[in-house]
Amino acid sequence: MSKTRLESILPLSPLQEGLLFHALYDEQSPDVYVVQLALQFEGDLDTERLRSAADAVLKRHANLRASFRQRRQQEGQPVQLIAADVKAPWRLVDLRDHEEEERTAVLERVVAEDKARRFDMARPPLLRFTLFRQADERFVLLLTAHHILLDGWSMPILMRELFEMYGSGGDDARLPRVAPYREYLTWLAARDRETGKAAWAGALSGLEEPCRLAPTGAVEGAARPEKITRLVPAELTEALQERARSRGLTMNTLVQGAWGLLLGALTGRDDVVFGTTVSGRPPELPGIESMVGLFI
């Protein structure tokens, strides 16, 4: 990337540093941090207008134009390079000539192939759009992105802005002012990291090893996350909700407590540690609720 096309150079958040490490550590295995969002909709759609709206969203959010590299002159410190002008990669897949069953099979295959295709972390943007046309007025829009760019909270913000841009022909006058992701990075830089490390060291004092449920090296290479869904009977749900209310707890706290007890039973320990993601959006930062980026 030439310097004339470079808008700025920014540091990475700690989680971005971690995801970049995983992306570069083993470039032959699947990247489990490639995420997807698919939207189904019907109506009279101007596909080129939607494509232009995708470009407008990238123009609006500078951090979506980021690439990630090691900065050699600073002992390999990673940086994100914000390109001044990047178009959204766009692909149109017309399925109207296929029978319904074949149409579904092709769509599922293309979605899976797109998820398996790794991003080059040094080439922006680390996202791409695929629009499937299933019928004259029936579509599926697929966004495939690297998690290093944005989190789950950001996805609906991005989609809402995309269709707002589509409706306005690329004019963002009706959208709120962009709260740049770099403001969050500035806020992070002002934090006292040593105090944070000391707080966590105290909280984890006495913990000698992780709580592993499987032997080390049980799985070779990266393993893609899977989702398992189980329906809980209505009677049990009501009982759990009543138990949580009677103890002044949220349902999430109840579930996390149950998970902790299960870990203890499986590992034979009464002191266990596990983690869960939180939004990571500091409420004292203006506009944080509408920022697009990685905060978890």
The per-residue pLDDT for range 18-56, each reduced to its tens digit, is 999 999 988 888 899 999 999 999 999 999 999 999 999
Once rounded to an integer, what is the mean pLDDT over residues 59-88? 88
pLDDT confidence of residue 285: 95
Cα separations (Å) of 251 from 215, 230, 235, 254, 258?
31, 17, 15, 5, 11
- In this structure, the chain runs to a length of 296
pLDDT in tens, 211-249: 887 776 656 667 778 889 999 999 999 999 999 999 999
Query: What average pLDDT does the segment 76-88 reach?
Result: 92
pLDDT at 172: 87
Residue 27 structure tokens:
């470039």
Cβ proximity of 274 and 259 under 8 Å = yes
Give the pLDDT confidence score for residue 97 in this predicted structure. Answer: 93
The whole-number pLDDT of residue 230 equals 93
Give the pLDDT confidence score for residue 117 in this predicted structure: 95
| CA 80 centroid distance within chain | 17
On the question of pLDDT at 2 being above 50, the answer is no
Closest CA to 80 of 141, 135, 28, 123: 123
pLDDT at 59: 95
179-198 pLDDT tens trace: 999 999 999 999 998 999 99
**Average pLDDT of the segment spanning 203-208:** 87
Closest CA to 148 of 10, 7, 273: 10
Q: How sure is the predictor about 1, in pLDDT bands with cuts at 50, 70 and 90?
A: very low
pLDDT at 74: 53
pLDDT at 296 over 80: yes
Give residue 219's pLDDT.
Answer: 62
Ramachandran region of residue 268, left (φ > 0), alpha (ψ -120 to 50) or beta?
left
Q: Could you report the per-residue pLDDT of 94-136, keeping only the tens digit for each? A: 999 999 899 999 999 999 999 999 999 999 999 999 999 999 9
Taking residues 151-172, what's their average pLDDT? 94
Q: Which domains does the chain have, with CATH numbers?
A: 3-190 (3.30.559.10)
DSSP run (H or E) holding 68: strand 66-71
**DSSP for residue 29:** S
Q: According to the model, what pLDDT value does residue 165 have?
A: 95
Q: Residue 271, Cβ neighbours under 10 Å: how many?
A: 10
- pLDDT value, residue 75: 63
